[in-house]
Amino acid sequence: MTKPLLVLGSANADLVVEVGRRPGGGETVLGGDTVVLPGGKGANTAVAAARVGASVALVGALGDDGYGSLLRSSLEDSGVDTALVKTSQRPTGIAYITVTPDGENSIVVSPGANADVAESDVDALSFDGVQVLTCSLEVPLETVIHAIDAASKAGVKTVLNLSPVAELPAETLKQLTTLIVNEHEAAQLASDWRHLLRLGPHTAIVTLGERGVAVVLPAGVKEIPGVKVDKVVDTTGAGDAFAGAFSARLAEGDRVVVAAEYAVKVAALSVTKAGAQPSYPTAAEVSSPVAG
């Protein structure tokens, strides 16, 4: 059965190590014990959406290895449908993450099986009953372009988390319901946030970390302030938490601004715990007074 929300993207094992500071070129810095956690922009987005109640399926690929088993279990335990996650001959993708005491992170991604997510996987999809397709860019670009085209032609709302920034055809940008970028990525694309819509998307969202987000609409820019939390533990996957929660609410019929307001709360709560997927809140947690 097709889910109202489809997420096409990567699934990685996150190998996380805490360091006092990031090493410079040619320098070795000792860190803490390595922690292995489920991650990947696609899997994170899907889990974040499922945690807040979305009916969601992930389109992706995993290796036939221990990391792949870890990821499947995390997805399924969170309520994500994994029927569209294929098994690849390549190893499961891995993200190598260093986290400093202020909670900031630096990441190197080895795509592995994610590179096998193909246009043929998109062609095998049914968009009947799908409300939203959300994509990110740790899978082949041509697959993402093909998926956005197919979904748009089927009348499905399309969301793209353009991270890292890549050059997309003008037609693909015009097919986007919402483009999501952080402020650094936005600066690479346009000199002014309002100019993001000149690229083609109907709406755009610029994520601003603890400061919240800016929603760019044809009528102007609506800034949504961040939600204050007592302590930032780990920012890993906070952007994916926002994308997942936003997509979940969009699939439920919320307007872009309302969906973004909800997703800001989810992203804020996610940084109060370690890791990406393990840190994502449930709908009940988002609704609690602490989240407001």
- 288 is annotated as contributing to ligand binding: no
Catalytic one of 77, 192, 240, 254: 240
- 76 is annotated as contributing to ligand binding: no
- 267 is annotated as contributing to ligand binding: no
Instruction: Look up tokens 């810095």; give the residue.
Output: 29
The arrangement of strands across the sheet holding 178-182 comes to 85-88, 56-63, 5-8, 132-136, 157-161, 178-182, 203-207, 212-217, 220-225
Helix (H) or strand (E) holding 70: helix 66-77
- 88 is annotated as contributing to ligand binding: no
Q: Decide if 240 is catalytic.
A: yes
3-state secondary structure of 186: helix
- 234 is annotated as contributing to ligand binding: yes
Q: How far is CA 218 from the centre of its chain?
A: 24
Task: Take residue 52 and report the two structure tokens written for it.
Answer: 């807040």
- 153 is annotated as contributing to ligand binding: no
- 269 is annotated as contributing to ligand binding: no
Give bridge partners of residue 216 from the DSSP assignment.
204, 221
Q: Any idea what DSSP says for residue 31?
A: B
- 34 is annotated as contributing to ligand binding: no
Residues flagged as binding site: 12-14, 40-44, 138, 182, 207-212, 234, 236, 239-240, 270, 273, 275, 279
Residues flagged as binding site for substrate: 12-14, 40-44, 138, 240
Residues flagged as binding site for ATP: 182, 207-212, 239-240
Residues flagged as binding site for K(+): 234, 236, 270, 273, 275, 279
Catalytic site positions: 240
